[in-house]
Structure 1
Amino acid sequence: MAATRNRRAGVEDLWWKTVRQPDGSPERVRSKLYDTGKRWRVRYVDDRGRELTKRFDRKVDAQQWLDIVVSSQVTGNYVDPVRGKITFASFYREWSSRQVWVPGTLQAMNLAADGVTFGDVTMADLRPSHLETWVKAMQVKPLAPGTIRTRFNNVRSVLRAARRDKVLAHDPSENITLPRRRRAEAAMVIPTPEEVGALLRAADEDFDAFVGLCAFVGLRLGEAAALQVGDVDFLRREIHVKRQVQRANGHAVEIRAPKYGSERTVPAPDGLLKLVSIHVAKWRPGDDPTRWLFPGEGQHPWHQNSVGYRWRKTRASVGLDTLHLHDLRHFYASGLIAASCDVVTVQKALGHSSPTVTLNTYAHLWPDASDRTRNAADALFRSSTESTAYPLRTESPK
């Protein structure tokens, strides 16, 4: 293994050198490079132990450039001059090949990275203006604000990796203004209990349990489709979410870990457990706990296409053509919040990665300070006016 060079730096005069005379005295004489090329050469050792050089016509320019390099090494802002010359697209291809991603993440990252308007720009030349131009192009396309934010964050993860790898001195994506998203309460649709009841009654006999799992334990489509009979614990009244169904590239059916690693155990209401037990008895009898609760073709369970067909048929039969299956998850979350469940409880039930995700999605459903103040004042008012000793005058003066 080669020894690592110590970090050092300096400016050398290539035209003149110092030699020792026979009497030991030093004397400056012309070198073989005299009057050839640039006179001053900067030499320094980078963070990887490689010696790099750069030549200048004037000593003052060489010294100023070296000072910047040394300062950047000390502050951690050093950029590899060789690596900094590769383009964004080239760096992404190299970096992404080393990442441990599931197919869905790879597809989303490729979609974002391939869609930038600065793919052929070298990393060292990237500026915030490049990011702003790209964001504006996505808005003009037009893409939804949420989609723009997702793609921006994916590309930003690439730039942060380049920063760690000494390819970028600074992250050019900092302080970039993104299109504002609509308020969650304006975009979110929450079906009423009457509508959910109508959907359950209208669903085919092999589909009503699926609707119930989405509405009363808040499962995502892929999570409900990937349930096995053994995941339903009728004794403890729990449902275990251990996997999800995904379609890779829109074709192959894959069984993966739940989104964001959200394996969880969800308490199930008795009515839902009864609905599921009827489904198992009629459609999935047997002793194998690993059999799919909703079997599809071959060895696979239902997936997005098979569920989507049944859902569109069900909602159309009750006149709810614009309702999405995911809206049943909102119905479940709103019910937990209305029952005064705290943020962490709702987070764990929904399988969110953090309470922040839950708040970002459902904060508008929790009572705010005004609601709490009003309710507290109401309680004070009732306790103060219900006294029989001092009855409250309720009639207006004539």
Structure 2
Amino acid sequence: MPSESQIPIVSRNTSARFARRLALFYGTLFGLIGTHLPFFPVWLKAVGIDASWIGIITAVPAVTRFTVLPFVTAFAERHQSLRRAMIFTAFATALGFLLVGTQHRPLLVFLAYALTACVWTPTVPLTDAYALRGVARYGLNYGPLRLWGSAAFVVGALACGLLVDVIAAKELIWVIASVAGLGAVVSLALARLDHPKTVPAAHHSAKALLREPGFLAIIVSSALIQGSHAAYYTFASITWQGAGLGGLTIAGLWVLGVLAEIVVFALSPRFTLNPSALVVIGGLSAVARWLITAQEPSVAVLSVVQLAHGLTYGLTQVGTMGLLVHHVPGQVMARGQGYFAACGGIVASATSILSGAVYARHGQGVYYVMAAMALSGAVLMWLARHRVAFSSEVATGSREENASK
């Protein structure tokens, strides 16, 4: 048996190994998103897919978030195979993008991409659930782990952007598939975690989550604040280009936002406010950000406003994960993440459709709607701040699990 002096060292080494491997996997996961999000539509157009089909095809991942995704996370949790599910979805995603790349007809691309999205979209909530279990197990902080995903998103987008000038647009799908393949290989190195201790009535905990007002307040308020970014994600580049900004300036504005997000994740271990307060601050920051954006500010002002992304997205994410890790039992964390992602998917899909209709008529006026959404999310979290400490069987299960460790 190891001596008492050796145990903390072993624990620290195990914790550091878990953190390094997870940070690397986060990097490949969001590096894939960084290459896919800006350039997958470019590939679709290059292989002859028309605009109407591009709109249908690119909407598929959002739909799978609230249809297929919750079932995948629930299946992984029921079989206590969270890490194995991450490995499976990573490899299936890589194979899926390879399959997509072999198709050029709209319907066949749609079908191949739909299959790929069914295994790809669950990977983020599975990884977040795995991360939060590690956070609870080793006393880590979520932000420093997650920041490597944001950093890789920037690197992936910039690298793929440079490749656009070097290779034919029809070859971009192989870049995307290669990054997915790298993620599959990295997934094999993910550290194993002990299965969470089972507690009485643990099999009821997943359903109890959906009956718990505090949990519902967490996922709905976060979905409203994060969903208020829909108009920004969809129309910011179009608006800036129409205002005469060059491609490099537009890319710089996007990068500013992600860099601010990285800083927030890095500093998050030093935050002393309650996680619910962080979500409220994130929501109120989004209100200010969208109200200023609606005024069509100058590039100088816009550059400062873009830095608010660290608060509107980053702080909201840190606060939400802090609430979930403290108030959702480990044995249902994956399903909790599944419900969270599904709620966000529903709100994001509906908001994207609404944004398109409002933007077509009122242009930048769409950001007033986004500000109202963010405000409603902040108000909901403020009103529910005393209810996020669960008092139901869910909380009981969480306390008993933590006591058993």
Q: TM-score range by the shorter chain?
A: under 0.3
Q: Of the two, which has the highest radius of gyration?
A: 1
Higher helix share: 2
What is the TM-score when the length of structure 1 is the normalising length? 0.23
Q: Which has the higher contact order (CA 8 A, sep 6+)?
A: 2
